[in-house]
Chain A
Amino acid sequence: MYELFSNLGAWLVSGEQWSGPDGIGHRLAEHLQYSLVATLIAAAIGLPLGLLIGHTGKGAFLAINLASFGRALPTVGLVVLVFLAGGLSMLPVYVALVALAVPAIVTNTYAGMTAVDPDVKDAARGQGMRGHQVLFQVELPLALPLIMTGLRLALIQVVATATIAAYVSFGGLGRYVFDGLAQRDLVQVLGGAVLVAVVAVALDLALSGLQRILFRHRTA
């Protein structure tokens, strides 16, 4: 066990492991790229949907069940399925990651919108604000902390799952996990897993810190 950990330490800090196209630096950049692109696409789909459902109050059933559906969907199956349908491209990976992230974004956006005090919305309407003004000037700012929590959760999940890109022969930190598996090289698998976990935890801490700074004047 000790030997395994010292080998892992050596693997993580060795200069040659960090350089080149198969180096940690390059794999890390790929991993972040997949994760950010997928989360941005998911946000472009999930945010308007969540805002619409929250604002109109229609489709709440959808918003609640979408979360459950997202959790139930087997990511491996989805990647393989889109891969078999669409051939070798990054498309299957992005489809699976976006499908994973959208429910978290929609449900949190919706939760943020429903948490806005109805009296505040009535007051805004009473002052003659139109629907879109109430949405963008009252509801959205008040719902923002929960919306950001949804985006954060989605990104963390996507970072952990982007490992799967390597299964259909792409890059990212998952490369180490799947190559290590194929080569029966436990140190490499362990190294890949540790790196993914570190990236996810670091992003989570950074984003929750950012949230605290942005919303420090809020009571809730």
Chain B
Amino acid sequence: MTIDWSWIGDHTDDLTTLTISHLQAALTAVFLGVLISLPLAVIAHRIRPLRGFLLGLSNVLFTIPSIAIFVLLLPVSGLTRTTTVIGLTIYTLVVLLRNTVEGLDSVPVKVKEAAKAMGTRPLRTLLTVEFPLALPVIMAGVRIATVMSISLVSVATYIGDGGLGQLFTDGFQRNFPTPVIVGVVLTLLLAVVADAALVALQYVLTPWRRRRA
């Protein structure tokens, strides 16, 4: 199996477009996943009976093969980017919800009691005490969800989207390995870069952890 380097040179524009489209789909899904999972995690954290239900439901969603999720969404949103993003968002929810609930659980009760004793209102406690303290665990979830999404975007190639995944179908249909290798390498690179960016973001967001480290 040899790489046709001239193909890469001839297709840099296409590769750039696909890479941007790939990253866009993955990041939109993670962003929506965070927006949805934060309130759900607060509910799961506060109301015990709902906790098992929400976590169990997200686990079941996770076992459905990704290709099936994309196809099942076709009657709803058709062969569009929306289908890709909804499918990916469903997947990110599993990781994001579990980590956010675990993060909220990890906040020491004494800290919450101290906030209450100082007269801090529940919503303010949540936003200024609980979320910041839960942030490392939440961010660990965001990192996993991001890397996973970047890898899963390519499955949407079966419904005509898929960013870099289109290189896989292209290579498969023409029996030509170069696009496939390029697609795999670019996907891995995107994952590494995005993960490093999130590590940097967490460093910026949690200044109080630096002194200890």
Q: Interface on A for B, CB 8 Å cutoff?
A: 4, 68-69, 71-78, 80-81, 83-85, 156, 159-161, 163-164, 174, 177, 180-181, 186, 189-190, 192-193, 196-197, 200-201, 204
Contact = CB atoms under 8 A, between A and B. Distances in A.
Given A68-B195, A72-B191, A74-B151, A204 B74 contact: no
Contacts of B148: 71
Contacts of B181: 81
B63 A156 contact: yes
A199 to B, nearest CB: 9
Given A197-B68, A204-B63, 11 more contacts: A74-B151, A74-B183, A77-B154, A77-B187, A80-B171, A81-B180, A163-B65, A164-B67, A189-B72, A190-B72, A196-B68
A175 B179 CA distance: 26
A160 B172 contact: no
B188 A76 contact: no
A200 B66 CA distance: 13
Nearest to A176: B68
A211 to B, nearest CB: 15
B63 A77 contact: no
B67 A177 contact: yes
Chain A interface, >50% SS class: helix
A81 B183 CA distance: 10
B188 to A, nearest CB: 5
A123 to B, nearest CB: 30
A189 B180 contact: no
A72 B63 contact: no
A47 B63 CA distance: 24
A200 B65 CA distance: 10
Nearest to A67: B144
Nearest to B65: A163
Interface string B173-193: 001110011011001100110
Q: 7 nearest interchain CB pairs?
A: A193-B68, A72-B191, A200-B63, A77-B184, A163-B65, A74-B154, A197-B64
B1 A84 contact: yes
Interface in B62-119: 62-69, 71-72, 74-75
A174 B64 CA distance: 12
